Every structure is written in C-alpha cells, then in structure tokens.
Chain A
C-alpha cells in the first residue's frame, strides 16, 4: 500500500469518536439489544475529550454520524466521520484504523488505487466508516471518495466486466465501498436524471434481473405522482455491489432525499406513509425523526438483489438529543 503510506512520515490520527452523538442511537430502540449495543460500542468508544468542533461533511446537517434504516428487513447501519475537520488523507487513515477486520488483498489494491487518485486529484473527504451487525457480529465497511478527474473508467469496466451504458447521463464513479467481512466491493455513481427504463439498462449491464419497475413504483408511491418521464429527483445515483469473487450481488438506486421529496418533514411523512401501507416496522425511524424537530435526511434508496424482495433504505443524520453537551 505504498501509495497510501508512502511519502513523508504520516501519523495515523487517533479516532476521536467522542464527538459523535451516539446517545442519539438510544432513540432507535431498546438499548439492550445486541445490535444497538454493538453499534453504540463501535462508534461510542474513545478518549473523553471535549465535544463539539468542526461540522462534518458526512451529512448536510454537519452531523458526523448517520443512521441508515432498511425496510422491510429492519436492519440498521451507521456511517461515521471519525475526525470532522481533519484533512481527507488523515480521515482515510483514521478510517482504516477503525476497521473490524483486515481488508482482502484485492480490497487493499482497490484502496491503494483510490488513494493514489486522491493524492493526484485531491479529495473532498477521503473516506467514511460504516458499521452494521449481521448474525450478532459487527461488520465494518470502508467508503472511499473517488475524486473528480480520477481516471476510473478503465478500472470500472474491468470490475463490471461489461462495457459502460448510458453515455449521455453523466455517470461518474463517486465512491467505492469495501466490506471487510465479505471482501466485497461496491461502486457508487452519481448521474444525471434517469428515465424509468434506464434502470433496467443499468441492471442488465451486470446481468441482474430487470426490476427497475419496482423502483419506479416506490418512487411513485413516495411522491404520490405518476411517473411518465424522468425519475422526479434532481440529485440521484446508483451503486453496483459485488461479492469477494467479483460477482454482481445488488443494485441500489438512490436519491438525495431533499431532491426527491423536499424538506425533512415531507421526507418523513412520505417514508412513514409508504411504510405504513407496506407494514414496515418504523418505530425506530419515527423516534429518531421526531416530528417536532425532524433532522436532515441524507439519501433515500431502493436495493434490488436477485431473488430477494426489494429493500428500501433511508439515511438520517444522527443529531445529538437536545440539551446534551457531549457524549462520552
């Protein structure tokens, strides 16, 4: 990993998790639950330093912690900025030190490649760190910023194994994700506005079933409008997820929540309305997004994996409960 650790002696900063409002996680459900205990532990441990400081770029609200809800599975995930205000390179190193397991050799090569792009083209945030609990085990995921101007196309085509599609939709690889448990790789793209049928074009590139219609139906339900032309979001993207052997596993369409549904209270109303109709358990989401002060949302998305029902995801900035000065 010469590109990452080369150059002048760079010290890896201590993770400074104390700034993260982990108490907000307590609003999610029973604090004694194994899942929540592990997540809280992952982002809630660290030296007891003064709280506050620079806002994070992780969320539009500046919160350094974001919770992702997944329905109908009920799974919870968190993403965190270990060191708000730090430089991109320092953050990347900090994230690496927070992983729960070693990266696979392939993943390490991906990190090296993206880190080199970040050095050559500059990086906005370097990386984020994600956690989720599956089967009682805490799993970490490393997200890496792919800077604008990085020559990602050739590499991306090798990973996908098929020629790119939608040449006029401004597709741009913006981030990659590396799951340390599975050894998998996820490619995240930003794109211009897409037409409904183009979701199937994106799916068929990876020989995934043409299920774009399910995403369109979800978007229609959320917005309560019939969709005849472009998908009604003004900031959207998608991701391709591959397992450790490079086999396509899932496609996710996502939109910045505000660009699809408007201000936070409208996002909340739409998600709860659709969830109620579908019978999802949304107690934790409802608590975290208390209607009196709806926190900023990040993304709304739909995950399509072969032979599994579509999952819907929404991310919410985890703001500190009111009156709390810090969190140890």
Chain B
C-alpha cells in the first residue's frame, strides 16, 4: 500500500510532471500516478470533430474523443534515474473515479464529467455537443493549429485505497447550525431534486452556516502539503456523507425541509486508518498536426446519431484476475442503419472496452430523431451466452456494468475495529446476502474478519451467467473478547441516488468500531398558518431500544416538558445526544407524551415507535402520528432467504392523481427504475422506508425482531393509509414471491405472511386504518 506522505514530483519530457509514491513497507517499491493521454485506436488518435453544415438538429457540431490513463515510459525512466534502477513498480487498486474535461467557449468555462472504465487503462469516452458555430470554431482553434498543448485539459480524479498516514482527521456536521441557517436564509425549501443538486445545496448550506468542520491534526514531521491534501479529502468525505444524509431524509420525508430533519454526526479517522483517497491528476490535451487534423475534422450536412457504449467496473475475478466474460456483442436498431449495426466489445482487452457508435441522423419525422433501440449478447468464458431484452432510449452514453454480467464483488475492510484493545473485539462475523439470478440457490453467506486493513479484507464474490440486481444486504456481528456479541445492521439502501454508485458492483464496505456511534435525536414541530388549530404545548419522553443487542430495556431516555413550539418550524431544546451501537435496521425509538392544540383538543403519543433510521420526530398542527408494528414472526425461513419490505405513504397530489391504481413501477426497487420512473416515484412517495429482513445464517438465529413504521394521519381526514410491497427471495432459487395488489382495512399492524403464493403477479398492498380502529387506539390512549 502506498504511503501518501512520500509523494514526489518527477519531471520528464518537456515540462511534464508525474507523481510517484513509495510503498509503506517496501522502500524499493514505488507507485506512479498514471497520466491522462489521448487513446490511439488502430494507430490513429481516438478523436473526431464534426461540423453540421445544414441540419444539426439543435446543435452545430459534435466532438468525441477517448482518454486513458497510462504511465509514460519516459516518466518511468526519469523516475528510475532519480529513485534508482533497482526499484520496482506497483499498481493502484482503483475503487472509483471520475474523469473531467475542462474546456471553454470564448472564455467561458465548461466542465464535462464521465465515469472511466475502472479497469484496464481507465478509458473515458467524452462526447461534447457544440451548440453554436462559434463553439465549433473554438474547438477547431483549440486543436488544429499544429503541435504543442491545446488550452483544454482532462483531469482524472481517482479513488484508491490507502492508509491515512501522518495525520488524523475529524469531520463533523453540526445539524443545528445548518438548520438555523436554513431558517434564517430560506424558510421554504421542499424539493431537493437529484443527487447532484442536493450535493450542491449541501455544500452551500454547510459553507455558509458553518455547519461543516474538518479538523486535521498533523503527525510529527508531516508537511503543510499533506495537511492541505488531507483537508481536501476530509471536506469531500464530509460533503458526501451529508449529501447522503439529506438524500435519505428527503426520501423518508414526513414533512418539508429535509435539512431540518438531519441530525449531527462526527467521525474521526485516526492515523493508519484505511480510507479511499483521491488522487487528482490532469494534463492538457495536445494539438494535432495539419496532416492529422485533415482526418479528424469533418464537415457533414446533417447531424448524426452518436452513442458511446462502455464496459464499466471490475470485470475480472478477484481470486485469479481472470475476465468474467469474453465479449459482448451489441446490436443497435436505428432507422438509418439497418445493416452493419453490430459490434463487439472485448472484456479482456482494455483497448476494445468502448465503442462510439454512429449512424446518419434520422429526419424522417421532420426533426432529428434521437431514439434508438439496443440489445446485447454476452459470451461468457465457458461458452455460455446471455441475450438481453431490447432497450429503447435516447441516452447517448450506455454503461454496461458488472451486474449485467452477473458479477457481485463486495469487499469488507476493517477501518478502526478495536481488535487489539484490552476489552476489544475478537472477530467480526459478516452475514452477506443478495438475490441471485433465478434458478440459483439463495443463501446468507457468513465470513469472519479478524484484523483491520486491506490485507485482511473479507471479500464476497459471486459470478453467474445471468444479470443480477444491484442491491445487497449485510449484517455485522462483533464477537467481543468477553464472549458477548454486538449486532450492527445498516438500514436498507433506498438507492434514491443511483448517480452515486460508482463501480457498478465492486463495492467496498468499511467496518468500524461498533460502539460509540454519536447519535442525535430531535423533535421538530411545524405550526402551519391558517389551520384550524395550532400546536400549543408538547410533553414527550423518548426512549431508545436496541433489542438485537440489549433485550427489552430502554438504553437511553430523554424528556422534553412543557415545550411551546413557536413560529413555522421550531425544535425542542436541548437536542438529545447519546452514544449507541450503529444498528439502524432494528433499533427503534419509543415515544410517549401528549400534544395539546389551541382548539382545546389533545393527542396522546402512546408508545409511538419509529425506526432509529429516522432520528427526527416530526409533529405538526395538521397531522397526528401513529406507529405501525411489522410482525415478521410468521415468515417461513425454511424456504425464504430474505425479505425486502418497502413501506411508504403518498403525497396528497399523488393520491389524487393515482386514485386506486398505483403505477406498476412502484413495485420495483428505485435502482431498477428508469430515470423517468425514479423522478415520478421521488415526487409521489413520502415517508419511504426499506426494511431488509435477513434470514438465518450460519450460526445465527432467525431474525424475529419486530420493525416499526411511523405514519402520519391528516387531522382533517378520518382514515389514514399507507402502502407496502414485500419481496420474498426463495432459498431454492425459484422465482421470488410477492404480495399481490390488495386493499387491507386493518389495524395499526402488518403481519407478513409465511409465504405468498407462487405464480402471482407482485403488487402493492394498500392498508387503510378505519376510523374505528383509530378511535380504539385513541380511546386506549386516553
């Protein structure tokens, strides 16, 4: 593993610089950060600039090119002159990355980001639509004037595993500051759009409010340059964590303003901790000679279809490095190119891992037609093939990821587990599960970790000849020195932000100290103006339970007495902070108390329970809170390997729009929806939560723990309703069983059946709690 404190600059060629790092343990082993370089395909630069002279279909031209990361021989030679010719070179393990193309049109900067392949030479294919003739000219001038560097550059920002050496870093998010800032800056902010926008807003709020803090403590002898690099890494890490927190808060929203539903957190990365480090490296692209340019620049009358097909992610086996398949043959169906419309991508050959497919533009409908259909056939190593369903789209970038090949590779790395402490952790049992393709047995796999670091990583890898989904589930069981066991199971990934997934399937999960997770719980109140009554007074007591670890007793408790909410949004003070085990899948909050309204009525929270994934209780003058108990005790674990239960409510507008018939795509996980479906789901589902119920593993008892789901009833409505879907993954590899479309008039509880019947179409259960049941609940509470 390379040592981040040993970075050295190596000058080579004419004014070029490469960066090298020394290995942490072997002084003769060095690593060179590769340099972005324009690819050559069949001896020619992988570059083209096309100008549309008559009919551009909305654009004036298109520039396409492919970059890759290489270690220039010249740079290696220069490094060996400095470092000695007896050194050897190691290779980086990339865990993620983004390639950026920086260019400008008449002095105005633009940046285009794409995902590199993450294997081979990390090919990144760029397509730049040029809107105006001036933009086409700018590109012509940038690349065509013979020799030297162009003004445009490409940067690769690659994440690579390493250890945090020479410094300790603490990243902290102070939710109170962000919330206070939001209140003063903007009182209404109800939609967060896509993940990138969230990240942008988060950066702004964190920066302006002072809610973000990154503290770097340098070790002896470390340089200011290292401090700057660690600080940059810390900010990126914090921003991504807060963005994910807010994206989850938005998906689980039980009220407006997701920032106000976030709670504080803090994480310290000690020296020697394994982290995913970022190594930005950039280079200016070169200009082309007149001879080259005559072949690379073309003028045509009409716009053409141009689509990049890419193999992305780790497509080799972790065990032996062998390729997971031989090739993938893609067929594109577009009106102007009905023959010679098939090409092959070779998995083992980085040079043939991407293809820019072109066809004359179809203007038969009067305007440019961007829609095409593609399908592909995978040829696996053992000669088997898989033929995909056809996909119709207008996307100009198609990424084929490892899950398309049936590949699942997830690595668990101990980050700061106290394996060596006096009263520490003896080992960590990792229960891992994902749904295999149909016909393959589904089991919960268990492996044991006994030490931190990359060398002691635990990898789960499976290879099928059929595509699989992207989701997986895991549970960590820490076996302590005294023989006790601590269970830590993350909440189900909502995957509301698939833009964030990087390598498709070669994920890394960092395993941390199970104890001492800083946990904050807040009670927020909305007093919406113009409603029949206001919130007057709130008296509540909240308790934290973690039955998987500590049985039936309340572990922490806090009371807010005689709190008078004020204004549109207010918070019960002080916030409640405690340190718990990180077990958001099954731990929960139990809340009791009374809410008094200005119309003289009151509402009693009588052992109201909500999942510890929600760390904010939202009360308002328009809704009452009830909790739904989910009983999983009936599930037939002899036949079922795993159940994914998704629960949600609908926005008023969506309820009106959908009526009694909800769209079918709401039965799918978010990551399997199309982008249009995802947008519609995000805009209509509220209070969304996903429970992964993991079946018994090797040496683990059956999960019998109840889950709790908090729901909101409009005070003006006599009934309350919520929806859920449940997918049962079968142990024997037969088709998953699902609950059918149905309306249940019921009580405040859900009993998952032992096993849904086979061969029925999956659907959505709509559960309506009738006035009588609510009244009974209310009577019981009074």
Among A224, A260, A265, the one with the most B-chain Cβ atoms within 10 Å of its Cβ is A224
Q: Which of A167, A196, A229 contacts B108 (CB 8 A)?
A: A167
Whether the pair A228, B108 counts as a contact (CB closer than 8 A) is no
Chain B residues near A228 (CB-CB < 8 A): 155, 280
10 nearest CB pairs, A to B: A201-B107, A195-B109, A262-B210, A263-B210, A234-B204, A226-B232, A166-B108, A165-B107, A197-B109, A258-B208
Chain A residues near B109 (CB-CB < 8 A): 195-198
Whether the pair B208, A198 counts as a contact (CB closer than 8 A) is no
Among B106, B203, B208, B228, the one with the most A-chain Cβ atoms within 10 Å of its Cβ is B208
What are some 25 contacts across the A-B interface (CB < 8 A)?
A165-B107, A166-B107, A167-B108, A169-B108, A196-B109, A197-B104, A197-B107, A198-B108, A201-B107, A201-B108, A204-B107, A224-B228, A225-B231, A225-B232, A225-B235, A228-B280, A229-B111, A232-B203, A234-B204, A234-B207, A261-B207, A262-B210, A263-B209, A263-B210, A265-B210
Q: How far is the CB of A90 from chain B (nearest CB, A)?
A: 29
Tell me, in angstroms, the Cα distance from A265 to B213 when the chains sit together.
13
0 or 1 for each of B222-256: is its CB under 8 Å from A? (1 = yes): 00000010011001000000000000000000000
Residues of A within 8 A of B (CB): 165-169, 195-198, 200-201, 204, 224-226, 228-229, 232, 234, 258-263, 265-266
Whether the pair A266, B210 counts as a contact (CB closer than 8 A) is yes
Q: How far is the CB of A311 from chain B (nearest CB, A)?
A: 24
Q: Among residues 103 to 118 in chain B, which have CB atoms less than 8 Å away from a CB atom of chain A?
A: 104, 106-109, 111
0 or 1 for each of B189-222: is its CB under 8 Å from A? (1 = yes): 0000000000000011001111000000000000
Tell me, in angstroms, the Cα distance from A232 to B106 when the chains sit together.
22
Tell me, in angstroms, the Cα distance from A229 to B209 when the chains sit together.
21
Chain B residues near A198 (CB-CB < 8 A): 104, 107-109
Q: Which of B104, B107, B208, B235 contacts A262 (CB 8 A)?
A: B208
Tell me, in angstroms, the Cα distance from A200 to B209 when the chains sit together.
30
Interface contacts beyond A226-B232, A259-B204, A265-B210: sample of 17 additional A-B pairs, CB < 8 Å, sorted by A: A165-B106, A165-B107, A166-B107, A166-B108, A168-B108, A169-B108, A196-B109, A201-B104, A201-B107, A225-B235, A232-B203, A232-B207, A234-B207, A234-B208, A258-B208, A260-B207, A262-B208
Tell me, in angstroms, the Cα distance from A130 to B249 when the chains sit together.
47
Q: How far is the CB of A251 from chain B (nearest CB, A)?
A: 14
Tell me, in angstroms, the Cα distance from A195 to B155 when the chains sit together.
15
Tell me, in angstroms, the Cα distance from A162 to B209 when the chains sit together.
39
Chain B residues near A263 (CB-CB < 8 A): 177, 209-210
Tell me, in angstroms, the Cα distance from A169 to B208 when the chains sit together.
21
Q: How far is the CB of A203 from chain B (nearest CB, A)?
A: 10
Chain B residues near A169 (CB-CB < 8 A): 108
Among A198, A201, A259, A262, the one with the most B-chain Cβ atoms within 10 Å of its Cβ is A262
Tell me, in angstroms, the Cα distance from A261 to B207 when the chains sit together.
7
Tell me, in angstroms, the Cα distance from A177 to B155 when the chains sit together.
41
Chain B residues near A167 (CB-CB < 8 A): 108
Nearest neighbor of A233 in chain B, beta-carbon distance: B207
Chain A residues near B111 (CB-CB < 8 A): 195, 229
Q: How far is the CB of B239 from chain A (nearest CB, A)?
A: 11
Chain B residues near A260 (CB-CB < 8 A): 207
Chain B residues near A200 (CB-CB < 8 A): 107
Q: How far is the CB of B765 from chain A (nearest CB, A)?
A: 44
Contacts A224-B228, A225-B231, A225-B235 hold; do A259 and B107 have CB atoms under 8 A apart? no
Whether the pair B231, A262 counts as a contact (CB closer than 8 A) is no
Chain B residues near A234 (CB-CB < 8 A): 204, 207-208
Tell me, in angstroms, the Cα distance from A258 to B211 when the chains sit together.
12
Q: How far is the CB of A141 from chain B (nearest CB, A)?
A: 29
Tell me, in angstroms, the Cα distance from A256 to B465 when the chains sit together.
57
Tell me, in angstroms, the Cα distance from A239 to B209 when the chains sit together.
27
Q: How far is the CB of B749 from chain A (nearest CB, A)?
A: 47
Tell me, in angstroms, the Cα distance from A225 to B203 when the chains sit together.
13
Among A198, A204, A265, the one with the most B-chain Cβ atoms within 10 Å of its Cβ is A198
Tell me, in angstroms, the Cα distance from A279 to B694 when the chains sit together.
62
Q: How far is the CB of B98 from chain A (nearest CB, A)?
A: 11
Tell me, in angstroms, the Cα distance from A197 to B111 when the chains sit together.
12
Contacts A198-B107, A201-B107, A204-B107 hold; do A262 and B228 have CB atoms under 8 A apart? no
Chain B residues near A226 (CB-CB < 8 A): 228, 232
Nearest neighbor of A261 in chain B, beta-carbon distance: B207
Chain A residues near B280 (CB-CB < 8 A): 228
Nearest neighbor of A257 in chain B, beta-carbon distance: B208
Tell me, in angstroms, the Cα distance from A113 to B557 when the chains sit together.
67
Tell me, in angstroms, the Cα distance from A197 to B155 when the chains sit together.
15
Nearest neighbor of A263 in chain B, beta-carbon distance: B210
Tell me, in angstroms, the Cα distance from A262 to B177 when the chains sit together.
11
Nearest neighbor of B110 in chain A, beta-carbon distance: A195
Q: How far is the CB of B569 from chain A (nearest CB, A)?
A: 20
Tell me, in angstroms, the Cα distance from A200 to B106 when the chains sit together.
12
Chain B residues near A195 (CB-CB < 8 A): 109, 111
Q: How far is the CB of B36 from chain A (nearest CB, A)?
A: 14
Chain A residues near B207 (CB-CB < 8 A): 232, 234, 259-262
Chain B residues near A262 (CB-CB < 8 A): 207-210
Tell me, in angstroms, the Cα distance from A230 to B177 when the chains sit together.
24
Q: How far is the CB of B205 from chain A (nearest CB, A)?
A: 9
Among B106, B108, B155, B203, the one with the most A-chain Cβ atoms within 10 Å of its Cβ is B108
Nearest neighbor of A200 in chain B, beta-carbon distance: B107
Tell me, in angstroms, the Cα distance from A169 to B228 when the chains sit together.
30
Nearest neighbor of A256 in chain B, beta-carbon distance: B208
Chain A residues near B231 (CB-CB < 8 A): 224-225
Nearest neighbor of A163 in chain B, beta-carbon distance: B106
Q: Among residues 93 to 109 in chain B, which have CB atoms less than 8 Å away from a CB atom of chain A?
A: 104, 106-109
Contacts A201-B108, A225-B232 hold; do A259 and B155 have CB atoms under 8 A apart? no
Nearest neighbor of B229 in chain A, beta-carbon distance: A226
Q: Among residues 70 to 107 in chain B, which have CB atoms less than 8 Å away from a CB atom of chain A?
A: 104, 106-107
